[in-house]
Structure 1
Amino acid sequence: MFPIAFDPIYKYPVQQTHRFPMDKYELLPVQLLREGIVEKTDFFTPQPIALQPVYAVHERDYVDRFVQGRLSPKEMRRIGFHQSPLLAERELLITGGTVQGALMALQTGIAFNIAGGTHHASYDHGEGFCMINDQAVAAQYLIDHKKAQKVLIIDLDVHQGNGTANIFQNRNLVFTFSIHGKNNYPFRKEKSDLDIGLDDRTGDELYLKTLFEILPGLIGQVKPDFIFYQAGVDILYTDKIGRMACTLQGCRQRDQMIFQLAKKHGIPLQCSMGGGYSAELRTILEAHANTYRAAADIY
């Protein structure tokens, strides 16, 4: 099948009032195994990332203060979590899983992280429940270790990948591409290499048409030898904060398009799951499971 990072510390140490449906991190692997989409041997427990690769994309002072639990109350309010050693440990595990998965994808063609997609983490600060930008760390890691020469980051979460754009704004070996809700968070957007902002209530037809018209040509233009894909499912019409109007089928077609293009061009791909905040947990699980179903069909 394909390698999937799954860390055992699946629950963030947060208060119950947070709207993040954290149980998806535990339940999604169960769903995938039940359906036979993957096998137990496809899952791997990541190792925490060393700090040196994190320093390559984040300010050292910020990283050290986060890991040591020394961020200010104002900084933590911007992130949205309470500071704790477990929170730092899990963020390093998530990032380690994305880096390890990327290295595995060089051999298998594709790899996943059940968590990840922490695209709001910028060079010198965290925000929006993101502290270390897992795909940014992994992209720079591949470049620094001569595993890739040109990386394309495709961010299809409903929220712009502002942190990723901030980190790579002056680094031409990583091309950042984001399709997002133009009126949604973050309300002050960063500048990706290519940004497409869509109106509220955009549905399947326009969303898929936009992606289909842009992505094949973009791959030809950028000529990446590795792709990172942020596969947020908060574009669904059922999402509590997404403000889009895509269906489960449309979301699955989106994923199929990404995977088909990557495989057609022989480009290894690492996928992190990103956001999803529908009112019913089963809808979130179904949407995320569809991403794996699409990959199983193509790979």
Structure 2
Amino acid sequence: MVFQPKPLTQATISLYHCSDYIGALVTGQLPAVKMRRIGFPWSEALIERTFTSAGGTWLTTQLAIEQGIAIHLSGGYHHAHYDFGSGFCLINDLVLSAKQALTLEKIDRVLIVDSDVHHGDGTATMCSDDERIITLSFHCDKNFPARKPNSDIDIGFARETQDNEFLEHFYSVVETAINLYQPDVIIYDAGVDIHQDDELGYFNISTQGLYQRDRFILALAQQRNIPIACVVGGGYRTVHQDLVPMHMQLLSASADLFLL
């Protein structure tokens, strides 16, 4: 089934982000230096898209809790902090959805698994004082952001990391985290900027490696009966359509597991 998300309201977003920051963002009053840190020029369309994408991540989380799995064809804005945006991220949809999920009945612990090539610095800082949200980041050590605040679990890799090394650690650490923390829902950032052809990634992961990564975590969630909400995360190619085969690995893995 396909769903159309609605934008989150300013009031809802301001429950989890600084209300002054969100107010300035909505009205276009954010100082130019702060917009440059985000990396986009301000526009009403940018705000609408951002709020709608965040609404999609929240809808995806709700659907996953109801159905077992859901995938959002956007999301993963993990560089957004409580009171500022950074790295093309204005608001942190992963954190917003995790915190909103914790208001639901029988959801007491959320595991955020971030497999984007860039460290989820905003996610780490926004969840640092909430023991109910476990943050796990797989990333390239020598890549943006320069400052990498501690997640609950950080797995950093060298540039040019290949399939075998990456997948060995991904399999082991994800399973250990699930065993240790027993989450009630998983929010999974399936970034494809770990791919060997990505222009900002610096990893050497094959397309098959993407599929194996995604299939593993989806299968594990399915076996443990843990809802998993997926977002597509980062991917950087000059020709945007070149990203489609990479993002399709998540959809293919989910179809192979949940539609057969």
Range into which the TM-score falls when normalised by the shorter chain = over 0.9
More moved, 75-84 vs 50-59 = 50-59
SS in 2 for 1:197: strand
Q: How many residues are treated as equivalent by the alignment?
A: 258
Distance in 1 separating the partners of 2:126 and 2:207: 32
Distance in 2 separating the partners of 1:67 and 1:290: 35
- Deviations 1:170-220 (Å, cap 9, x if unpaired)? 111100000000000001111101101100000000000011121111101
Contact 2:76 2:93 in 1 (8 A): yes
Distance in 2 separating the partners of 1:132 and 1:43: 24
Contact 1:48 1:89 in 2 (8 A): yes
The 5 A counterparts of 1:53-92 are 53-92=12-51
Contact 1:238 1:279 in 2 (8 A): no
2:149 aligned with 1:190: yes
- Deviations 1:108-155 (Å, cap 9, x if unpaired)? 111111111111101110000000111111110011233511000000
Partner of 2:78: 119
Distance in 1 separating the partners of 2:169 and 2:7: 37
- Deviations 1:58-93 (Å, cap 9, x if unpaired)? 111111111121110000000000111111111110
Query: Of 138, 143, 165, which residue of structure 1 is paired with 2:102?
Result: 143
Distance in 2 separating the partners of 1:213 and 1:107: 28
Distance in 2 separating the partners of 1:122 and 1:110: 27
Partner of 1:98: 57
Distance in 2 separating the partners of 1:233 and 1:191: 22
Q: How far is 1:55 from its partner? A: 2.2
Q: How far is 1:279 from its partner? A: 5.0
SS in 1 for 2:102: helix
- Deviations 1:11-32 (Å, cap 9, x if unpaired)? xxxxxxxxxxxxxxxxxxxxxx
SS in 1 for 2:113: strand
- Deviations 1:202-258 (Å, cap 9, x if unpaired)? 000000001112111110101100000001101111111100000000011000011
More moved, 272-281 vs 145-154 = 272-281
Query: Of 161, 168, 182, which residue of structure 2 is paired with 1:202?
Result: 161
Partner of 1:159: 118
TM-score (norm 1): 0.84
Distance in 2 separating the partners of 1:53 and 1:198: 36
Identity value in percent = 38
2:139 aligned with 1:218: no
Contact 1:120 1:128 in 2 (8 A): yes
Distance in 2 separating the partners of 1:53 and 1:114: 22
Distance in 2 separating the partners of 1:240 and 1:289: 18
Distance in 1 separating the partners of 2:111 and 2:79: 17
Query: Of 127, 134, 152, which residue of structure 2 is paired with 1:175?
Result: 134
The one-letter code of the counterpart of 1:165 is A
SS in 2 for 1:100: helix
Distance in 1 separating the partners of 2:130 and 2:14: 15
The one-letter code of the counterpart of 1:270 is A
Distance in 2 separating the partners of 1:61 and 1:280: 37
SS in 2 for 1:270: strand
| Change in 2 beyond 3 A, CA 1:53/1:144 | farther
SS in 2 for 1:130: coil
Contact 2:106 2:184 in 1 (8 A): no
RMSD of Structure 2 on Structure 1 (CA): 1.2
Gaps of 5+ in 1: 1-41
Contact 1:56 1:140 in 2 (8 A): no
Q: How far is 1:53 from its partner? A: 3.0
TM-score (norm 2): 0.96
Contact 1:122 1:166 in 2 (8 A): yes
Distance in 1 separating the partners of 2:105 and 2:72: 22
Distance in 1 separating the partners of 2:241 and 2:232: 16
2:237 aligned with 1:237: no
Contact 1:232 1:273 in 2 (8 A): yes
Distance in 1 separating the partners of 2:190 and 2:249: 11
The one-letter code of the counterpart of 2:178 is I
| Change in 2 beyond 3 A, CA 1:92/1:284 | same
Distance in 1 separating the partners of 2:242 and 2:22: 35
| Change in 2 beyond 3 A, CA 1:279/1:74 | closer
